[in-house]
Amino acid sequence: MTRARVALVDYGAGNLRSVAKALERSGLEVELAADAAVVERADGVVLPGAGAFADGMAGLRRNGLDEALLKALELRRPYLGLCLGVQLLFELGEEHGLTDGLGVVKGRVQRFADVDSRGSRRRVPHIGWNEVQFSGEHPMLEHLPERDFFYFVHSYRPVPADERIVVGRTHYGDEFASVIAQDSIFAVQFHPEKSQHAGLRLLNAYCSWVESSR
């Protein structure tokens, strides 16, 4: 049997090469997707990215990639969102004013406050290694430890309306949702491709999920 093929969405946000190499190490065949046709024929979809929410949505809309992603989700293709790739799933982003997202997850993307709930100063952006505590049920979680450390770089974080979709939590002054899972979506706020062994474990789990969904 041929290897599972995933579409790595190329919409002008972030370094695709490091993500592609990490996915290939996990055993997946990776095809860069700058147009809808590549997304539509893939076994799974990976949306990476770093940068501003509004710029990310503009990049997706430029070549009809937003509609292709929505169709892939409707067909329940395993979706892995990385950093900006989790944020764009939400209804609204608050960076540089309100911007509509893909709207498949209820909630919005908000900036970390400069002061946490205890009144302590919080350094923004959140940069560096931090712990993720996993919980809940999902095919990928079967291959992951209950907690692991991953590399973060972000000023904004997802705030889902439904806490039940949160399967990973991280503490940075206050607790925030660092991993969500809904239907065929598994999306993380951190960068697996920069997270060494922990990141490779997560991508291996994604590979297993895609393979089992074919």
pLDDT of 75: 96
pLDDT of 196: 97
pLDDT of 68: 97
Report how far residue 80's alpha carbon sits from residue 52's, in angstroms, rounded to the nearest whole number.
Answer: 19
Residues 6+ positions from 167 with CB-CB distance below 8 Å: 134, 135, 136, 138, 141, 179, 180, 181, 186
Q: What is the chain's mean pLDDT, rounded?
A: 96
Q: How confident is the model at residue 90 (pLDDT cuts 50, 70, 90)?
A: very high
pLDDT at 22 over 80: yes
pLDDT of 2: 82
pLDDT single digits (tens) 113-161? 999 999 999 999 999 999 999 999 999 999 999 999 999 999 999 999 9
Burial bucket for residue 75 (CB in 10 Å: 0-12, 13-18, 19+): exposed
pLDDT at 15 over 80: no
pLDDT single digits (tens) 50-74? 889 999 999 999 989 999 999 999 9
pLDDT of 1: 64
pTM, to two decimals? 0.96
Report how far residue 77's alpha carbon sits from residue 183's, in angstroms, rounded to the nearest whole number.
Answer: 10
Catalytic annotation, residues = 83, 191, 193
Burial 12-33 (b: 16+ CB within 10 A, else e): ebbebeebbebbbebebebeeb
Q: For the structural domain made of 5-213, what CATH number should be given?
A: 3.40.50.880
Percent of the chain at pLDDT > 90 equals: 92
Report how far residue 60's alpha carbon sits from residue 103's, in angstroms, rounded to the nearest whole number.
Answer: 13
Question: What token pair was written down for 192?
Answer: 């697996």
| Secondary element (H or E) of residue 69 | helix 65-74
Per-domain boundaries in the chain? 5-213
pLDDT at 14 over 90: no
